[in-house]
Amino acid sequence: MSTDKTLILIKPDGVGGGLVGEVISRIESKGYAIDALRMLKADRALLEKHYAEHIGKPFYEPLVEFMMSGPIVAIVASGNCVIEGFRSLAGVTDPTLAGPGTIRGDLARDQGTKVVQNIVHGSDSPESAAREIAIFFPK
């Protein structure tokens, strides 16, 4: 039995591109459970918490602007090894390099923007997952 959980975001390019169903389908087809889901328009304060590790980097401001540019979908998914498993489904950060068969590899490409637009976010560790789930799904 496992209670591994991860925080997944479908970013504005994913929602705007009509890919919500496709992304959820890939999560469910892999066998992970959707425990919680909400659509929202993120504000700067929320994104500052979520992306705290990137504050000060050259792409930070473009990243926040991009994430505020349209609605996003926040999802808690669960299953054994779901953190690593979803990162594997998503593919690497750069959609040009993300392999075919991955969400980023199949559904995104370089748009020439200051921030990489790559459809989804997935937590990168149990600590990040717990922190990020609390940000998007406060008790």
Q: Which residues are catalytic?
A: 121
Strands laid side by side in the 5-10 sheet: 33-40, 72-78, 5-10, 120-122
Residues 31-70 that bind ligand DAT (CB under 6 A): 59, 63
Joined tokens for residue 129: 């997952």
- C-beta closer to ligand DAT: residue 79 or 91: 91
CB of 1 to ligand DAT, least distance (A): 28
CB of 95 to ligand DAT, least distance (A): 9
- C-beta closer to ligand DAT: residue 102 or 118: 118
- Cα 119-120-122 angle, rounded to 5 deg: 165
Distance CA 35, CA 3 (A): 11
Contact call for residues 34 and 28 (beta carbons, < 8 A): yes
CB of 19 to ligand DAT, least distance (A): 15
Strand pairing partners for 38? 74
Residues 88-127 that bind ligand DAT (CB under 6 A): 93, 115-116, 118, 121, 124
Residue 120, SS3? Answer: strand
- C-beta closer to ligand DAT: residue 79 or 122: 122
Interacting residues with ligand DAT (CB under 6 A): 59, 63, 93, 115-116, 118, 121, 124
